[in-house]
Copies of this chain bind each other. A is one copy, B any other.
Amino acid sequence: MSKAPTVYDVAESAGVSIATVSRVLRTPEAVRPETRDRVLDAVSRLGYVPSGSARGLAERRTGVLGMYFPGFDAIDDVSALDVLANEVREPFTVVRGAGPRDDARASMLFQDEVLRGAELEAWRRGFVLMVGVGRGDPSASTVRDMAGRVDGLVVLASSIPDDALAWLSRRVPIVVLAGPRRGDRHDHVTVSNTEAMVELTRHVLAQTDGRPPAYLAGPADSPDGAQRWEGFRRAIEAAGLRIDEIDVRRGDFTRASGRRVGEELVAHGLPAALMSSNDQMALGALDAFASAGIRVPQDVIVTGFDGIDASALVSPPLTTVRQPMIELGRAAIQVLAHRLETPDAEPVSVRLPVEILLRESSLRAS
């Protein structure tokens, strides 16, 4: 560790040239077996690990792919946490009645799974994965940093501004993940949010005998939210209903905001159904309804969107749409790998299918 052995050390120790060491590692069959063994012996004797930097420089490829997420500032408690300070610390604390984790953390699960899929696919193709999280750095320095170290980059939609994207894509190929397509200059992977919402809305209308659901929207700037709303609107209009007569409420994707809207609805009159643009808010609405003694789905149907774990665990289980998160990650890397092989092919746009999970919260006639 003090000074890691290099090809030169191995070469000297094995009595060969550095070229031969390199050959043994890269094209073993091109080296005479005895020589090869001498080299391999030296390699293991010295504990030689090739420098990725030197390799990357010489090969003009790093073997690394990057994945860049937008950050959740709410979660990033950037407090000091100095574990090396010698404060006295109790080995444990006792807490009574702690609930599940909070909203913000739950919404990160999405990213976690995408990341897993990406890592898996990267591994299959002989790459390693580098991850970065955006933390509101205007100069996008983290992602630029990454761009300099990888052969290609997957960027979650809306994690960086368009001009930064353009900049980076001069160095490495970029795949944009989720959200609507941004121009047609980059490869793009997304899910069938809109189509699924059309179908889900149809389902709800069938359950309510055509009475219009209320809609629980997310923040106005959410690309996913926009796609979901679009699907809702289409289905409503296709059913001959007027979109501007829909009771639309806006939340911020948190459970608390869903609860608040649920309470409003309880106070001002219940719709036949409440379709939420994500699960968290739907769960919040369920909370409010339960507190008010309102039965779901008998008194009001509720649906979510995302397919988080909690949606299956609440009572009644929540009808929702499950995003294929692992597959999203895999698909992104796949598209990236493809791009690396054929740099001049036209940009592609891949749309992955989703699963509509019909559960008790929307099934009036079981």
Chain A residues engaging chain B, CB cutoff 8 angstroms: 1-2, 4-5, 44, 46-47, 49-57, 62-64, 75-76, 78, 81-84, 89-101, 106, 108-109, 112, 115-116, 119-121, 123-124, 128-133, 135, 142, 144-150, 166-173, 189, 192, 195-196, 199, 309-310, 312-314, 317, 321-322, 327, 330-331, 334-335, 338, 343, 348, 350-360
Contact = CB atoms under 8 A, between A and B. Distances in A.
A233 to B, nearest CB: 17
Contacts of A56: 51-53, 56
A106 B313 CA distance: 14
Given A51-B148, A57-B53, A98 B170 contact: no
Contacts of A348: 84
Contacts of A331: 81, 83
A91 B128 contact: no
A330 B81 contact: yes
Given A4-B170, A56-B52, A83-B350, A313 B100 contact: yes
A146 B133 contact: no
- A-B pairs with the 10 shortest C-beta distances? A53-B56, A52-B149, A91-B192, A91-B195, A47-B170, A112-B112, A100-B312, A83-B331, A53-B57, A52-B148
A64 B149 contact: yes
A92 B196 contact: yes
Given A89-B353, A129-B131, 9 more contacts: A4-B170, A47-B170, A52-B150, A92-B321, A92-B355, A98-B322, A108-B116, A131-B131, A309-B310
Contacts of A106: 309
A173 to B, nearest CB: 6
A97 B50 CA distance: 51
B353 A92 contact: yes
A169 B1 contact: yes
A78 B123 CA distance: 10
Contacts of A83: 189, 327, 330-331, 334-335, 350, 352
- Classify the secondary structure of A's interface with B: mixed
Contacts of A62: 52-53, 149
9 contacts: A47-B170, A51-B57, A53-B149, A78-B124, A84-B334, A93-B356, A123-B132, A128-B146, A130-B131
A61 to B, nearest CB: 9
Nearest to A61: B53
A96 to B, nearest CB: 5
Nearest to A1: B170
A94 B149 contact: no
> Which among A91, A170, A334 has the greatest number of chain B C-beta atoms within 10 A?
A91
A100 B47 CA distance: 46
A195 B94 CA distance: 12
A121 B84 CA distance: 14
A128 B146 CA distance: 8
Contacts of A322: 95, 98
A63 to B, nearest CB: 8
A234 to B, nearest CB: 13
Contacts of A310: 309, 313
A245 B55 CA distance: 60
Contact of A49 (B90, B168, B189, B314): B168
B78 A120 contact: yes
A121 B350 CA distance: 34
Contacts of A84: 334-335, 338, 348, 350
